[in-house]
Structure 1
Amino acid sequence: MKFSEMTYTRPDIDALLARCKQLATKAADAPDGDALIQVYYEQSRAFADYTTASQLANIHYTCDTRDAYWKAEQDFFDANGPAVTNASVEISRAFLANPYVEALTEHFGTTCVAGMKNAVLGMDDRTVELQQEFNALVSQYQQIYGGALVELDGKQLTIPQLGPYKEDLDPAVRRAAYEAEAGYFDAHRDELDALYTKIVKNLNQQAKVLGYKDYSELSYVRMNRIGYGQAEIQAFRDQVARDVVPELQKVMAMRAKRTGITHPTFTDLPIIFKDGNPKPIPGYQARMDAARTMYHELSPETAEFIDFMQDNELFDVESRPGKMSGGYMTSLPSYKAPFIFANWNDTSGDVDVLTHECGHAFEGYVAERDPNVPADLECPAMESAEIHSMAMEFLTAPWHHLLFGKDTEKYALLHAEDSFVFLAYGCAVDEFQHIMYQNPDLTPDQRNAEWLKLEKKYRPWIDFDNLPFYGRGAGWQRQLHIYECPFYYIDYCLSTMAALQFFLLSLDDHKDAWQRYLKLVRRAGLASYTELLQTAGLKVPFAEGSVKGIAQQMTRWLEEHQVG
């Protein structure tokens, strides 16, 4: 069914909550393991219509944050979502109380019961009002960000539409673009500072209600991290600071030599080549045609997937006023349909987001068609789900010429370089959030000072050159994840470690790399992060020394493939 034909009906929350109570009773009373497994499938299906309605409302709202009808529907789910989540938690509690609960582990793998334990530890009725308040705070942030319009070049532009100006070869144009963006955020400085203060205090209060020290501790439970915790993440960040940052300084020196910018400042960082960054082919339909060819030639599975996505209008990727910034993939379970949202701005990032979100969507498409995978185990935890997307960015490389033409080699260098350099920024975001939630009484200025310290630790090559907003250490406020889904960002780093390994493997044998990837995808959410890496024969980045070898291989490849 085409997206435009999908109907929306506000769900009956009372009926759903009553159904949840029935399912909790069935889960508690199941007489044996086989019966319990069947109840698990049943409860997984029970949320399909609610989830579909919720996602339809969110898609329409983020496509136009100014639409009063969809804003009201988003408010409805913000208000009622916590009660539904907590009702689901009560079902999990009932499963865990059943003496045959280990039958679920035997049937579904290690993540099913572990995930339910995390759900029970991370939510209950005592936090419903706080969850509702948090949802409303996030919606306020989305309105401030999504409603951004700035004056530049005689035009009213959204934040994503500033992208091409930030990559202009004229440094004055780049500076003007960043200053226009900075001006908008500075104009909303008090609102953004106050919102973040409220978010930190809200989530820390939720943590304390549930018996945790602060939200940095609770977040690992809510993010459903299985088999590792803060100690392993800190060990990973330490490896990045010690073993990756020195390699990145070599990479940034190569970039400066390549561009001819002797003393690059922050506004120069988007310039990757002296004669301009690679540009994808223009035109929505031309790109969609190229994507269809690419996925048809990659594999039979991706051919079927891309036909389904395009034939059913499951993309909204063009930027326009009122549309929320960023990109995402979500699923509409009643239709077994993924949906991709993005904001193209005629930079190479358009191809990044296309292949990235298609990686998520492909995994969802495959999992939704596997009858043995319950709906709530179709997707793994986010550090694993991001492997699907970030590895897809690299595994489509043999067909990137369809999207870049003469700029293909430049894009290959830019993409590999940016993916590698990202590790430092991602770790800075994660460490910053640990500091914020462990020190909730920091003033806005003190928060910004902590961010600047982390910039020096992880990205010592950056000179902000008195740039408004960024120069005072507030650039973190532009990162949607910090407000909307705290502690998510390290997941991109963990998945990048897997994606870089897929990239290096594909250089030697692309068919083998693709088969490893497909094997990982087909495990859906039935395996943990470490298990998925082992499935594909990849190194786990928590182990001491595991990051250094990959970093050195990436630096060597970049040294050997300097173009432009």
Structure 2
Amino acid sequence: MKQTKILAILLALALLLTGCAQLVDLTQRLAENRDEQLEQLARQGKTREPFSQMTYTRPDMEAFQALAEESCRLGQTSEDVDQILEQTTQLYEAYDRFYTMLSLADIFYCKDLSNAEAQAEYEFCTGQSGQVEQALEAYYQALAQGPAVEELEEYFGEGFFDGYTGESQWDAAFLDLWNQEQEAVARYYEAMNQLADASYEDMEKNLGPILVELIGLRQELAAQVGYDDCEEFLWDWSYNRAYTPQDLDAYLQEIQQELVPLYRKMQTSGLYDEVYRQQSAFGRPTKK
């Protein structure tokens, strides 16, 4: 009876959260073993808050770390599944709220790369993302070592904790590379703002080295966790897309088959002649 009650609380909380991928995932797992009513509640937990109503607030990292540490302590020592699930809900909520704020900071900064306040918030959030991921992994490791791990598999999924019994992937070396990669992305954005009116030649000269550095860092990150190249690593770790590289290849083939012939016809139609006449030596429209 007590577990049924806590399940209802968890699912009701899902209705109040917006964009919480971790919590939604948990409610979906819970719903798989419950009746249709609970499944409907889990689906409602996917409700998203309209972007126009979202406001940015800098994440409180001290509060997040304190919550993560308390969660780890509980996971390692407690046999109370209901209490652990309540704690998991709180941690997932904080985790997802952090990434919602990071996404907002990214959007606001990309809208105006000259906005110093947006830049500062973007760099703050990206600079903390590694620690957030490290904290979540540490929590899963704590649960894997705790006395309630077998009962928790009913909620997290069979075999979920098997990947959290060894050494941490988010060790000091990986975290350092991650932070370097985030810093390189921030420098790339800043350089793009400074080069807003520059020629393509100047862009290549200034952005090229940062891009090469970024690719190198991502290759190192991939190698740290056993991937052969950064493309495969990024698909698994960062993109979270609902399609695969194979789907993308098929999409590109469609572009080649459908759009390329159309583009060639437009090139020979004279439609772009006026645009071409206005182009500068660097391939950009001449300013009047």
Q: TM-score, normalised by structure 1?
A: 0.33
Shift of 1:69: 2.8
Distance 1:3 1:197, change over 3 A: closer
Give 2:262's aligned residue: 255
Q: Deviations over 1:228-251 (max 9, x none)?
A: 9xxx846x577x39xx83x66653
- Larger RCO: 1 or 2 (CA < 8 Å, sep 6+): 1
Shift of 1:26: 1.5
Distance 1:12 1:191, change over 3 A: same
Distance in 2 between the 1:72 and 1:89 partners? 27
Shift of 1:253: 7.4
- Equivalent residues of 1:27, 1:36 under 8 A apart: yes
Structure ranking higher in strand proportion: 1
Alignment of 1:466-545 (within 5 A): none
Q: Deviations over 1:412-457 (max 9, x none)?
A: xxxxxxxxxxxxxxxxxxxxxxxxxxxxxxxxxxxxxxxxxxxxxx
Give 1:91's aligned residue: 139
Distance 1:84 1:251, change over 3 A: closer
Specify which of 72, 77, 85 is matched with residue 120 of structure 2: 72
Are residues 1:37 and 2:44 paired? no
> Letter of the aligned partner of 2:122 in structure 1?
Q
- Equivalent residues of 2:95, 2:132 under 8 A apart: no
Give 2:21's aligned residue: none
Distance 1:25 1:80, change over 3 A: same
Query: SS in structure 1 opposite 2:75?
Result: helix
Where do 5+ consecutive residues of structure 1 fail to align?
Answer: 151-182, 269-466, 471-564
Distance in 1 between the 2:91 and 2:129 partners? 17
Q: Deviations over 1:176-210 (max 9, x none)?
A: xxxxxxx7332121222211221122122233344
Distance in 2 between the 1:224 and 1:252 partners? 26
Q: Deviations over 1:318-371 (max 9, x none)?
A: xxxxxxxxxxxxxxxxxxxxxxxxxxxxxxxxxxxxxxxxxxxxxxxxxxxxxx
- Equivalent residues of 1:34, 1:103 under 8 A apart: no
Give 2:172's aligned residue: 125
- Equivalent residues of 1:121, 1:221 under 8 A apart: no
Distance in 1 between the 2:260 and 2:50 partners? 49
Give 1:24's aligned residue: 72
- Give the total of aligned pairs: 227
Distance in 1 between the 2:201 and 2:178 partners? 28
Distance 1:50 1:27, change over 3 A: same
Are residues 1:192 and 2:199 paired? no
Shift of 1:141: 1.8
Give 2:217's aligned residue: 202
Distance 1:237 1:8, change over 3 A: closer
Distance in 1 between the 2:233 and 2:152 partners? 25
Distance 1:219 1:11, change over 3 A: closer
Distance 1:116 1:36, change over 3 A: farther
Distance 1:3 1:33, change over 3 A: closer
Query: SS in structure 1 opposite 2:199?
Result: helix
Structure ranking higher in helix proportion: 2
> Letter of the aligned partner of 2:203 in structure 1?
H
Alignment of 1:151-190 (within 5 A): 184-190=199-205
> Letter of the aligned partner of 1:62 in structure 2?
C
Distance 1:223 1:248, change over 3 A: closer
Q: Deviations over 1:248-307 (max 9, x none)?
A: 6653476369x5654899x79xxxxxxxxxxxxxxxxxxxxxxxxxxxxxxxxxxxxxxx
Query: SS in structure 2 opposite 1:66?
Result: coil
- Equivalent residues of 2:56, 2:101 under 8 A apart: yes
> Letter of the aligned partner of 1:251 in structure 2?
E
- Equivalent residues of 2:181, 2:214 under 8 A apart: yes
Are residues 1:135 and 2:182 paired? yes
Where do 5+ consecutive residues of structure 2 fail to align?
Answer: 1-48, 274-280
Between the aligned residues of both structures, percent identity stands at: 23
Query: SS in structure 2 opposite 1:71?
Result: helix
Distance 1:133 1:71, change over 3 A: same
Q: TM-score, normalised by structure 2?
A: 0.57
- Equivalent residues of 1:83, 1:125 under 8 A apart: no
Query: SS in structure 2 opposite 1:123?
Result: coil
